[in-house]
Structure 1
Amino acid sequence: MDTEMLIGSRFEAGTETEEKILNPKTGATILDLPEASHAQIDAAVDAAEKAFVSWSMTTPAERSGYLLKIADAIEKDAGAFAALESLNCGKPINAARNDELPAIVDCWRFFAGAIRSMQATVAGEYLPGFTSMIRRDPIGIVGSIAPWNYPLMMMAWKLAPALAGGNTVVFKPSEQTPLTALKMAKLLADILPEGVVNIVLGRGETVGNTLINHPKVSMVSITGDIATGKKVLVAAARTVKRTHLELGGKAPVIVYDDADLAAVVQGIRAFGYYNAGQDCTAACRIYAEDGIYEKLVADLSSAVSTIRYNDPDDTTNEIGPLISKRQRDRVASFVERAAELKHVEITTGGRAGSDEGYFFQPTVVAGATQDDEIVRREVFGPVVSVTRFTETE
């Protein structure tokens, strides 16, 4: 198992506080990994700065070739990547192997193709003898901070377009799920020029904060909650950094009386609970018209109660655990507060799903109203609320 950060061409361990990397299925410690020091972060940024001089001058064809090599290398080792992702995140092995790894490989290939076909719009001659046009140039060093719900996929989403555009990157995975990023470090170091990608470890409040405030970082890309996004914007404003923010969500599904109920139930069972609901696009907020409401609640509750999890044979599991005890407790607190409301009924689930690990039962919260917390705030767990409505507005 790879445990060292990538700084320029060097692999080295962090020198600061150790973070326990846990197996969410059991709660057991996989290993302890120390986070990067300020000096190591500076060294990573300096390596990215040095590499930018030549990397930014490469042609789209050259960068495309590198991305295709990365895609091929991941595909060749997809089984090992899937197993490691499953260990670190608790994802069912089939989800990691059959859903995520093909999408990750495709992401690298997509941007390898996209950079070959970028269009520059010719605006015309606004002054006699001068032609105006749009030219696309690399931005510089991108500080990328990834979350724990899709570690390897988010790494692809952040690295592939940044590299395709001619930028260099200092990447920080979540301190809870760094293992596949460290495996990727070895793969990237074998393919890319020195310093184009650097990988540092640590918590958001320390290493992440240092990255987003670093004067040499030109752009910050972060996936996280809204509070974190606000902090990034404030920090970026000080040095006029560009930002790419992917923040929380609360995806609504509106179901009218004439809907195909079986299709609705099947869809919500899949997309409301995939990845144990740890997804900013989870179909977690259902509005059902009065005539279909009762039947929808009954059928959805029945279907959700059959979702497989925590089976010793991981190939049969449909969802995994939540990422940590803290996250499971947070999800449980949302459900407990909802259950205290007289108009709310927990029609299935509602409790921790095991004594070991961080499983939570797939849950349906019926009768919730628009003003309820469970409807308005992102739970980020296997919890779907259903709200009755009578008028479209």
Structure 2
Amino acid sequence: MPDRIYLDWNATAPLRREAREAMVAAWELAGNPSSVHAEGRQARRLVEEARAVIAGAVGAPARNVVFTSGGTEANALALTPGLRRGTGVPVRRLLVSAVEHASVLAGGRFPAVAIGIVGVTRAGLLDLDRLRAMLADGPPALVSVMLANNETGAVQPVMEAAGIVHQAGGLLHVDAIQAFGRIPFNINVLNADLLTLSAHKIGGPKGVGALVVAEDLLGLEPVLRGGGQEHGRRAGTENVAGIAGFGAAAKAAMAALEGDARRLEGLRSRLEGGLQQTSGVVIFSGDAPRLPNTTLFTVPGLKAETAVIGFDLAGVAVSSGSACSSGKVQPSHVLEAMGFGPELAQGAVRLSLGWSTTPADVDRTLEAWRRLANTLLKRSDETLLERF
């Protein structure tokens, strides 16, 4: 589709050349990575090389990276009752922030009665005082807090949360899927006990993810049973080509991270400056630390579904929020948790940039927005669709 602008990188990133080449090479191999013959060892080498790259990117030993079918499975594997560090007390309840991804809000393998929701501030940041109070009111808990929100881009105070959680005898799971490859972080500096990652957000293939576990974490029970793959933590023959693509994408993303972050932050400022020329524009989490590539905005009276369609017809791919609710445009649970009413929550549009986004892309997007705003804020949805 020529001359289109892709600004939905938080939903998925285009496949990197390096990942594609690694996958094509892997598809040429015949061996099962669990086989001991030469063909099997070739496949195993690709898996272990990728494991080492991903582990190095987050400061973990390679043996502590568990490959999964994606971020959702990695989150489900992480949210396990009975986890403990060393001789610590096993966790029996789960506390999650109100702005987590749906796969975390679902609670993994914790029963519904054992799950609590921790609120956030108006800026979309975890309410640390509320977390402290909830941890004090019950047995040790597993706490799940995303490093960066997929809708607003807000970067959470994870290190502060880790201190509070561990002081209360709990464990911390960090969904770092949106942050990986966009901001630097280290599992040890974050003081996280579990960390989840996904390949397709950084230009790897869809359908591959990873759970990274701390050194002395015990009690992790596999979701999939039946084989000894992934050190007994996830049964099933490894997706060799997907994992090889994941490793190649991670290597490329980490090499470009610092330069991309600076460039994208500049483009985001350019984009938001242009959006704010429209009277009444609200940029969510604008005063919070954010990913350098993410803008979630609205105008009172805007309807997200109509805006997304209008952008699409103008040649710009954007989102109304999380792509995991495809085909179901509804008010954002993130914005509701932040205290915004339906008038704003139902009109939020997310623009997320990536490594190939150019100043010209931003300028064309702003042109499209100005045309849309003149129509969207004055006419009904039906009139807009007839116009296009």
State whether TM-score is above 0.5.
no
Structure with more contact order per residue of length (Cα contacts < 8 Å, sep ≥ 6): 2
Task: Tell me the TM-score normalised to structure 2 length.
Answer: 0.30
Task: Tell me the TM-score normalised to structure 1 length.
Answer: 0.29
Name the structure with the higher strand share: 1
